[in-house]
Amino acid sequence: MTAATPATPVCLTVLTTTDSADRAAELARGVIEAGLAACAQVSAPVTSVYRWQGAIETAEEWQVLFKTTAARYEALEAHLKAAHGYDTPEIIALPVVRGSAAYLAWVAEETTAP
């Protein structure tokens, strides 16, 4: 018997953070307008604690979650890097391992490249 290899996830949740509600809304709108995600959700301020250039920092940030497909990830990442105000933005993709078939079909439909 051979071990099964995990399938590449069809859908992803991609997250980033930024320094203001306005900037988070701009990133969300830009990604949706570009067809790189089906949905973007901006979360209320979160407190981030991290080490940057040798110092421990604390900052108020807004988190943006994008619902997209694995096929659109590279373009989404490139868009976020170009549009983001941070030198090293957090861009993390998490696989969607299960979900409503209708919702996941909608994500795929909304992110199909032209």
Residue at 1 is within a domain: no
Helix axis angle for 73-83 and 21-33, nearest 10°, is 140
Residue at 6 is within a domain: no
Return the CATH number at 30: 3.30.70.120
Contact 73, 11 (CB under 8 A): no
Q: How many domains does the chain have?
A: 1
- 31-68: buried (b, 16+ CB within 10 Å) or exposed (e) per residue? bbeebbbbbbebeeeeeeeeeeeeeeeeeebbbbbbbb
Residue at 37 is within a domain: yes
Residue at 56 is within a domain: yes
Residue at 20 is within a domain: yes
pLDDT on residue 9? 61
pLDDT on residue 25? 98
pLDDT in tens, 17-31: 999 999 999 999 999
Query: Could you list the residue range(s) of the whole structural domain that residue 84 is in?
Result: 11-93
Residue at 100 is within a domain: no
Residue at 77 is within a domain: yes
Q: What are the residue ranges in the chain where pLDDT is below 50?
A: 4-5
